[in-house]
Every structure is written in structure tokens, then in C-alpha cells.
Structure 1
Amino acid sequence: MEGLVIIVQILVMIFLCINVWLIVTFFKKECFYTTTRYILFAVTLLSDSFLLFMSDILLILTHSHFAIQVWLCIIINIFIILYSVVTPVTLIAMTLERYVAICMPLRHGELCSTRSTMHCILIIHGLSSVPCIVILSTFFASASLSFYKQYQICSVEICIFYMWQHHLRSALYQFQFLIMCIIVIFCYVKIMKVAKAASGEDKKSTKKGLRTVLLHGFQLLLCLIQLWTPFMEAAVLQVNFDLFIDVRYINYIMFYLAPRCLSPLIYGLRDEVFFHALKHYASFGLHGVSMGCPQDHWDSWHSQNLLVW
């Protein structure tokens, strides 16, 4: 178990460093923070980094059996519950942005302006806060004032007193899962139809687009499965606490770390403009890079990179 803890800490440190590097690159170039898909990409990086940091603290506390006061645990859980949902909802927004760019290119500039993106970020956080508000509202209505001063091993399950609260949380997450799946399937079917028609005989471009879509879908699937992990852990907790700790570590690696490892691969390294900017700043300017942006040459960029994101 100690070896697994060390491996998790190393992975968290690596992913946080990569995310910080990508975030710094994002703020270095003006067109990145004025282009919708790059802004949403940065939202996922910030959300993932914050979630990794907070959840890792909680994991260390649980592993060391270190009890903290319930009120402090609730504060930690607020951020974990919120940002565990922000990433999949942001991925849905990125999917819709690609749908507009590919299926309605003439309206892309209007619907995906910087101002609209800022409003979209507010909507993302508003929708993501719904599970947090529901879970904590039922907790506040059920907990006594003295409970907040007690010392407990911190976990999300500390907010659950009754079985109906568990069922309510389960129904809420499953409803979100269903809505996200419907949106993703609809957008991907439409995008792939347009992509195949637009690519013609360019089989290489079609294959690249297909790989990107599959990676994007796989990442979203992992994030959505993450919404179900609390239910698996709660069931195992009723059987054996040691097994519960093992399952929590496995879930953390597979459904927290893995999806957040895919973000830099899909949206950072595979995007030509962003990748060249990464090399430029990583080499302290020694690696020459064209500082042109997609919107500088939208028509040619759209025809050449229709399938990349």
C-alpha cells in the first residue's frame, strides 16, 4: 500500500507540472485566451489541477487515518464535488463548440465569441454546482450543529446520513450522465458526417479526425464513470474498510488521474499551433515558431484542421 501511495504522489506531481506548463503557455499568446476552444481547454486544465490537488490532500488524510473537524471536511468536499463535475461539463461545451465550428461554420464567430465564452464558463460552473447544492442542502437539513465540531475521517460519504440521500445523489448523477451521453452522441454523429463528406479522398485526415474523436469520447467516458465511483466505494465500505481503501486508490488512478492525463495529449500536443507554442516557450525562445493564430487565417485553417479537434 505504501508503494501505491508513493506512485500516486509521483503521478499527481507530474500531471500538475504538465498542467502548469500548459497554462503558462496559454497565457503567453493572445490568441489562445481570445479563442473559445483554447479558453475551454484552459478551464479544464485549471479545474483538473485544482481537483488533483484537493483530492490528493483528501487521499493522504484518509490513508493516514487523520481525522479533521467536519466543518473543514465540508469545505474540502465542496470544491471536490464541484470540480469533479466541471471537467465533464466543460468537455460537453467543447464538443458543442466543435459541432458549431464544423456543422455551422458561418455562425461560429457569432456563437463562439470571447464574450459568449465567458458566459459559457459561468453556465458551466452553474450547472456543475447543482449536485453540490443538492448534496449539501440535504446534509445541512439533517446534521446537528454539534456534528460540525466532531472529528471524522474526511470523505464525501460524510454528507450522507440516510439512504434517501444516497438515492437522490445517485439519481442526480445518472441524470447528468444520460444528458451528457445524448449530447455527445448527437454532436459526434453530426461532426463525423460532415467530416467524411468534407475530407473526400483525404483518408489520412479522416483517420486523424477519427482518432481525435475517439480519444475525446474515451476521456469523457472516464470522467462520467468518475461520477459513479462514490457509489462503488460506498458499497465496498459496507463490506470491508481495507478493501474500500484499495478500491478508492484504483478509482483515483483510473478515473481521476487518467482522464486528466489525456487533456494535454488531445488538446495540447495534437493541436499544431499550441504544440509549436509549447516547444517555443519550453526552449526559452530558441525553437523558432510562427506566432500566427487560427483566427488570423480562418478560412484556410478551417479547411485544413476541420478534423483535428
Structure 2
Amino acid sequence: MAANITIEYKMNDKIMLIQVFVVLFLCINLLLITTFFTKEVFYTTMRYVLFAVTLMSDTLFLFLTDILLISDLYSFTIQRWLCLIIIIILSLYAFVTPVTLTAMTLERCVAICLPLRHGELCSPRSTLHSILIIHILSSLPCIVYLSLFFASASYSSDTQGRVCTAEIFIIHTWQGHLRSAISQFYFLIMCITIVFSYVKITRVAKAASGEDKKSTWRGLRTVGLHALQLLLCLIQLWCPLIEAAVLKINFMLFINVRYFNYITFILAPRCLSPLIYGLRDEMFFHALKRLALCGLRKKH
């Protein structure tokens, strides 16, 4: 009994700390989204529009994963149809962010390596098409998962209430392996794209001089940060396998591992976007600073 109470207290402490992080990052994301709509140049420029897409995707993803984390740890049950909707949204936006990051990397590559064609290739019309393509590509794994689930599931169980996790929609072991294989394939393509862009920009950086060289190396650092984000998102795919193995060993260790994974591989990569564009981009940073200062003045 005493051991159970100790575990419960430790879980409560971890959950409360996670809530602080989640609320903090959600507030930062909402402030950045508000900043995005303050200037016309932001919502007519591809890199800023794609940045806003990642912010909205990350905000929704963090909010829903936090709800599932709490419901899982405290064994809250919900109807399977509602759980299915949540998992569909999560499955979609788990891919939207990394695919958008890849598109942002390509945009930087075009801006640095093909500056004369950048305006044509990255026009507002092309941006809308890119967002559509991003969501189509991100939805394909989700469509595969759903098709496999409905082909294998018993429809009579759709109204049963249970703890909502992605694992309840995996009927057979091979479905989990297929899901992992699809995810690994996507991230392999993304990593190849990142490496290709990095090599191209590096060549241009070595040949550039003066102000162009400084701008090119800044773009190279941006691509490097995108690569770090993608790496953390890739590791996130292995977390369920690691957690399932640890659960068989020790429950408290499982709680600690899940807590670490959530902070490191779900929160962290989705908090790098504000650092990359919200703080490192000079124009966006000044707009953000102006918005924050106006808010403080109004309070006084």
C-alpha cells in the first residue's frame, strides 16, 4: 500500500511538471502564431507560412498527446470512436511537422542555391500547393493504419470504453511492424532530403563571399537544426517499443522512461521551431518583440 502511494505521488509530481512545460510551450506557440498574422510579409512568404504550419501542428499535437498521457497514467476511459478520432488527428500531425520541416529545408536550399528562381518557385500559389501536398503525404500512413484496423477489427467493440492509446488499434503484431516500417521509410526519405540540401548549401557557402557567405552559413545552421528536429522525431517512433519492453521489467522504471521520452522526444523537437524561426529570424524576432512590448504597455 505504501509503495503504491509513493508511486502515485511520484506520478503526480511528474505530471504537474509536464503540465508546466506544456502550458509554457503552448503559450509561446500561440504568441508566435499571433505574431505571424501581424505583418503581411509573413503570410505571403513561404518560409514563414510553413513555420506557421509547424506551430499550429505542434500546438495541436502537444495538446492531444498531453490529454492522452494524463488519461493513460490515471486510467481514464473514453469511447473507442472518440479515441479513434484523436488517434487519427495525432497520426496525421505526427507526420505534418517533420514533412513541413523537410519542405522548409528545400525552401532554404532553393533560396540559397537558386536565388533567381526563388520568387517563382516559392510564390504564394506554390506555398498553398505545398501545404496541400504536405497534408496529403502525411495522411497516407494514417489511411493505411485505418484500413488495416477496420479490415481486422470487430465492429461490435466500437462502443466499448477503454484507455485511449494507439496500441489498441493494432490487432496483429505485423500491423505494428508495418506501421514502424512506413514511418522509417518516410524519415529515411526526409533524412536523404536534408543531407542533399546540406551538401548543396555547403558547396554554395564555400564559393560565396562577404555578406552572401554570412547569409549562406546562417541557412546552413538552420538546415542543421532541422536535421536535429527530425532525428528527435525519428527516435520518438522507437519509444513505444522501448516502453513496452521496460513495462515487463518494472512499472516504476516504465513511468520514468515514459516521462523522459515525452520530455525529450515529443516536447523538445516541437520546441525547437520557436528557437529556429521565432528567435533566430531577425524580422520575426523584431515583430515578436514589438507585440510583446505592446502587450506590456497595455497592462500598465
TM-score (norm 2): 0.89
CA–CA distance in 1 between the matches of 2:104 and 2:219? 15
Q: 1:15 aligns with which of 25, 28, 34?
A: 25
Task: Indicate whether 1:270 and 2:280 are aligned.
Answer: yes
Answer yes or no: is the 8 Å Cα contact 2:201–2:216 preserved in 1.
no
| 1:28-107 equivalences in 2 (<5 Å) | 28-107=38-117
What RMSD, in angstroms, separates the aligned Cα atoms of the two structures?
A: 2.1
CA distance in 2, matches of 1:132, 1:282: 38
Structure 1: which amino acid aligns with 2:84?
I
SS in 2 for 1:283: helix
Question: How far off its partner does 1:246 sit?
Answer: 3.2
- How many residue pairs get aligned? The number is 287
CA distance in 2, matches of 1:10, 1:184: 33
Structure 1 residue corresponding to 2:185, chosen from 175, 179, 204: 175
Aligned 8 A contact 1:88 1:224 in 2 = no
Report the Cα offset of residue 214 of structure 1: 2.8
Q: Report SS of the residue matched to 1:124.
A: helix
Distance (whole Å) between structure 2 residues aligned to residue 252 and residue 93 of structure 1: 25
**1:85, 1:244 → 2: CA distance?**
26
Q: Is the 8 A contact 1:47 1:83 kept in 2?
A: yes
Measure, in 1, the Cα distance between the counterparts of 2:140 and 2:248: 27
Structure 2 residue identity aligned to 1:82: L
Q: Summarize the Cα distance change of 1:204–1:92 in structure 2 as closer, same or farther, 3 Å threshold.
A: closer
The one-letter code sitting in structure 1 at the alignment partner of 2:165 is: S
Note if contact 1:280-1:286 (Cα within 8 Å) is conserved in structure 2.
no
Gaps of 5+ in 2: 1-10
| 1:135 corresponds to 2:150 | no
CA distances 1:254-277 after superposition (whole Å, capped 9, x unpaired): 111101111111111111100111
Write the mapping of 1:104-115 to structure 2, written as runs, cut at 5 A: 104-115=114-125
In the other structure, the counterpart of 1:279 is 289
Identity %: 68
Give, in angstroms, the shift of residue 203 of structure 1. Answer: 7.9
Report SS of the residue matched to 1:32: coil
State the one-letter code of the partner of 1:273.
M
Does structure 2 conserve the Cα–Cα contact (< 8 Å) formed by 1:157 and 1:234? no
Is the counterpart of residue 123 in structure 1 residue 117 in structure 2? no
Q: 2:229 maps to what in 1?
A: 219
In 2, the alpha carbon distance for the partners of 1:94 and 1:200 equals: 25
Displacement, 1:235? 3.7
Q: For 1:200 and 1:231, locate their aligned partners in 2 and report how far apart those are by CA, in whole Å.
A: 49
CA distance in 2, matches of 1:285, 1:79: 33
Q: 1:156 to 1:240 in 2, by over 3 A?
A: farther
In structure 1, stretches of 5+ residues that fail to align are 288-309
Provide the rounded CA distance (Å) in 1 between the counterparts of 2:215 and 2:121.
26
Q: 1:285 to 1:57 in 2, by over 3 A?
A: closer
How many angstroms apart in 1 are the aligned matches of 2:91 and 2:22?
Answer: 19
After TM superposition, the structure 1 = structure 2 runs for residues 140-179 of structure 1, keeping only pairs within 5 Å, are 140-179=150-189
Amino acid at match of 1:5: I
SS of alignment partner, residue 133 of structure 1: helix
Q: Aligned with 2:37: secondary structure?
A: helix
Q: TM-score, normalised by structure 1?
A: 0.87
Q: Secondary structure at the match of 1:284?
A: helix
Cα offset, 1:196, TM superposition: 2.4
Please identify, of 237-246 and 28-37, the stretch whose mean Cα deviation from structure 2 is larger: 237-246
Secondary structure of residue in 2 paired with 1:34: coil
Q: How many angstroms apart in 2 are the aligned matches of 1:208 and 1:33? A: 22
Instruction: Tell me what 2:197 maps to.
Output: 187
Are 2:279 and 2:285, in contact at CA under 8 Å, matched by a contact in 1? yes
Aligned-residue offset at 1:206: 6.7
